[in-house]
Every structure is written in C-alpha cells, then in structure tokens.
Structure 1
Amino acid sequence: MQAAFQEYIRQHISLSDQDVQLMLSLATEQKVSKKTFLLREGEVCRHKMFVTGGLLRIYRTREDGSEHIIQFSPEQYWCTEPESLNKQTPSSYYIDAVEDSHLLQWTKKDFDHLNANIPGLKAYSEGIIAHNMDLHRQRIFSAISATPEEKYDEFMRVYPGLLSRIPLHMVASYLGVSVKTLTRIRHAQLQR
C-alpha cells in the first residue's frame, strides 16, 4: 500500500523523502471487503482516504431507497466527504467499497498537521479541491443540459476502464438514467 502511495506522490507532487515518510507515519492502512461501509448517513466523516487498490463510491439515498452515486474513487484517487470532515457534522452521504479495497487514511487533525508542515502538500491539496469543484460544476451542468449519450461519454472520459468493474445499475445511478436507457446507449455505441 505504501509503495503505491509513494509512486503516486512522485508522479504528482515534488516532496522530499522526509515529507513522504511523515505522511506515511501518520497514515493508517486499512483493507476493507466489498460492501463495507466507511461512512453512513448520520455519521461524522473522520478520515481523508487514499485508495491504493480497489474501488469506493460516495452516494446518497432518497426516502424510497434509491441510490444516487456522486463519485467513484478507484486506485490513485482520494476519497472523503468534505463537508462532514471539515465541519465535523453528520453526513448526508454513504461511502462504501464496491470492491475489496486497500486504503491509507488520515484523521482530519493529522492531515491538517501535514498541510501546515508540508507546503507542497498544502498547495497540491488546494489544487485537488479546486479541480473537484470544477468537476462537480461540470456534473451539475451535464445533469441539467446533457443528453444521456453525452453523460455516458463524459463518464467514459472521467473513469476510463471502470465500466467493466461495476454493475450497470451503478453506472445508471451515477448518470441519473435508467438501466434500460443505459443499455440502449451502450448498444447504439456498439453499432457504430
């Protein structure tokens, strides 16, 4: 797990070996089985997570029990519920493992300490936050203006290779379309 994280850091941030070791010293390694909940609605998010293997999802449910997936976090992705983590308030979201997964986790206190003591990490974290805000704005725009086909194409661009790892009903939930519509879109693309 640590080797995968070190490789990610080398590819994305210029940090000293000492800074990377400090990050790893404050991280907790966790292996979770498929369908394990890392956060449930009503709980306070306690960790910022980095996925070294496997796949997580963040989603919310409606009163009728239907799920609406907000984000997938495969390998080399960060995952948290930022509102709950930053304000230490109960979450409206769930985070669970779609596959058996390997994670590195930091408490809010420890990650705040790292950001305060590693300027390169702080700048990178701010960049990730800005990038995620842009992605969420694009998702909102797509949700109100894109055709189902355009939403599917965007999903394939954002999450290449993920389609073969998740059930179609989860893709449909992420896109905000029915499984029937998703099947029609996929069939039409195969015909091209």
Structure 2
Amino acid sequence: MIDLFITYLRNNASLTDGEIDRVVSLSTPRSLRRNELLLQEGQICRQKGFILKGLLYTAGSAAGEDGEHILQFSAEQNWILDAESYDQQIPSRFNIAAVEKTELLVWGRNDFEGLREEIPGLTKFAQQLISRNIYSSRQRILAALSGTPEEKYTSFVRNNPGLLQRLPLRMIASYLGISLKTLTRIRHAQIQR
C-alpha cells in the first residue's frame, strides 16, 4: 500500500526519490474500522494522515443543537487532519471517523514539521494543497448559502460520483445541510425524469 503513496508523491510533488523515501520513513501505517474515530472532539490533533484506502468524514456539532453536521468527506489519495487544532495545538471541535474500513499513513506533528523544514519541496507542495482546499471550501460555502437543495445534490453527484454508492443517505443529507426527507424527495424526482 505504501507504493500508492510513493506514486502519489511522484505524480503530484516535486520531490527527489531520496526525499520521498525520507517522508515515507517517518510515516506509520494505521487501520481504522468502520465508525472508528481518528480524532475525537476535545482532543488535540497531533498527527496528519494520508488515506491509502477507505473513506473518512469530518463532522462537528453546532452549539445547542443535537446531531452533527458533516463538513467534509475524504477518500483515497487525500490528506486528513483538523488543521486548526493541528496548527494551534488546541482541542478540536470536530470528530474525524471512518465511514468504512480505512488504511492510512500518519505522521506525528513534530515529525511532519521537521520534514517540512528539511525538504523545501514538501513545504511548497503543502502550500499548494492548502490553496486548493481554501478554494474548494469557498466554493462549498457559496453553494451552501445560495443553492437550492436540488442544486446542492446535483453538484454533489457531479463532483463526487465515486462517493454516492459508498455513503448512507443520512450522511449525504447532513453534508448538504438538508433533511433526509428532502434528499429522498429529490432523488425520487430525479429517478422519475
């Protein structure tokens, strides 16, 4: 499975084989069972992970509300962490959990930050990922604020075709900020067309 990560870095980052070997050498394989937490609300995020196989979600609760709001799904070939907790070393307001059996590589914060100091290409690559995540988050916020439930669902299907069959409808509804009843109605209407 580590070969998947090596291929990912070769295709996406400008790192030498030696630098890739160094990054891999400080990683630790980790397996999560379905519904197992990688990070629990209230813990400090002390590691970042790369998903080799599987699917995770990030969710939090709004003050005074029951249930959780899913903010993000992360599948294969994606990085996962609570950036705010990781950067500021404060308790997380989110849970990160496995939707299905998941295989990851994880790096402790000190190890990864040491790698960033040691390997300038890794820092540049990390900055590019942060920029892409900011762009993606802004697009999601705009869609959430201005899109109809039908538009949100259509956009989700278009942008995440591989996730549709892997997620329970209740999780998709939470991610879209709509009720399960509304999502079921939308899906039924689309089938009727």
Spell out the pairing of 1:135-174 with structure 2 (5 A cutoff): 135-174=136-175
After superposition, give the CA deviation of every residue in 1:94-151 in whole Å (9 maximum; x if it has no partner).
0011101000001111111111122222111101111111111111111111111111
1:33 aligns with 2:33: yes
Which residue number in structure 2 is paired with residue 57 of structure 1? 57
Which residue number in structure 1 is paired with residue 13 of structure 2? 13
Of 45-54 and 11-20, the range deviating more from structure 2: 11-20
Q: Give ranges in structure 2 of 5+ residues lacking alignment.
A: none
- 2:36 and 2:183 map into 1 onto residues whose CA distance is 27
Spell out the pairing of 1:112-151 with structure 2 (5 A cutoff): 112-151=113-152
One-letter code of the match for 2:8?
Answer: Y
- 2:142 and 2:112 map into 1 onto residues whose CA distance is 32
After superposition, give the CA deviation of every residue in 1:45-72 in whole Å (9 maximum; x if it has no partner).
1111100001110000244431100101
- CA deviation after TM superposition for structure 1 residue 15, in Å: 1.5
- CA deviation after TM superposition for structure 1 residue 168, in Å: 0.2
After superposition, give the CA deviation of every residue in 1:7-35 in whole Å (9 maximum; x if it has no partner).
11122113211111101111111011111
- CA deviation after TM superposition for structure 1 residue 180, in Å: 1.3
What percentage of residue pairs aligned between the two structures are identical?
Answer: 47
- 1:176 and 1:131 map into 2 onto residues whose CA distance is 23
1:46 aligns with 2:69: no
Is the 1:41–1:93 Cα contact (8 Å) retained in structure 2? Answer: yes
Distance 1:158 1:113, change over 3 A: farther
- CA deviation after TM superposition for structure 1 residue 41, in Å: 1.0
Which residue number in structure 1 is paired with residue 95 of structure 2? 94
- CA deviation after TM superposition for structure 1 residue 6, in Å: 0.9
One-letter code of the match for 2:42?
Answer: G
Q: TM-score, normalised by structure 2?
A: 0.95
One-letter code of the match for 1:40?
Answer: Q
Which residue number in structure 1 is paired with residue 177 of structure 2? 176
Poorly superposed stretches of 4+, deviation over 3 Å: none
Of 120-129 and 153-162, the range deviating more from structure 2: 153-162
- 1:183 and 1:49 map into 2 onto residues whose CA distance is 34
What is the SS of the residue equivalent to 2:114?
helix
After superposition, give the CA deviation of every residue in 1:153-190 in whole Å (9 maximum; x if it has no partner).
22123322101001000000000001111112222222
